Amino acid sequence: MILNLFQVPAAGSIQEPMICAGCGEQVCDRFFLLAAGRVWHGSCLRCSQCHCELQAHPSLFWRDGNIYCQQDYCRSNSFSTETA
C-alpha cells in the first residue's frame, strides 16, 4: 500500500500533545510528518528494512505494520509473488 506523506505545520491547528509513533517522544517540532494516520518526527520515519530516512522520499509504503522505502517494498513484493 502506498502511503501519502503529509508535512503539517504544528502551530495552532492541534492542541493535544502529539506522540511520535517511532520513538514515543512528544513531537515539538514546527512541522511534523503525518503518515499511516500517525505522527512522526522527520528523523524517526525510516524504512524498517534499510533505515533510510523517508522524509526525503516522494513516496513510502506500508505493509503488515511496517514502513518501507520503495526499493525495499518492491523487493519484498517480488518475494511474495514468487512463492505464491
* Shortest distance (Å) from residue 19 CB to Zn ion: 9
Which residue bears the cell 524517526? Answer: 44
* Minimum distance from residue 11 beta carbon to Zn ion (Å): 19
| SS3 call for 8 | strand
Rounded to 5°, angle at Cα 21 from 16 and 22: 135
Least distance (Å) between residue 18 CB and Zn ion:
10
Name which of 22, 43, 21, 47 is nearest 31 in CA terms. Answer: 43
Of 18 and 47, which has the nearer Cβ to Zn ion?
Answer: 47
Binding site residues, Zn ion, CB under 5 A: 20, 22-23, 41, 44, 47, 49-50, 69, 72
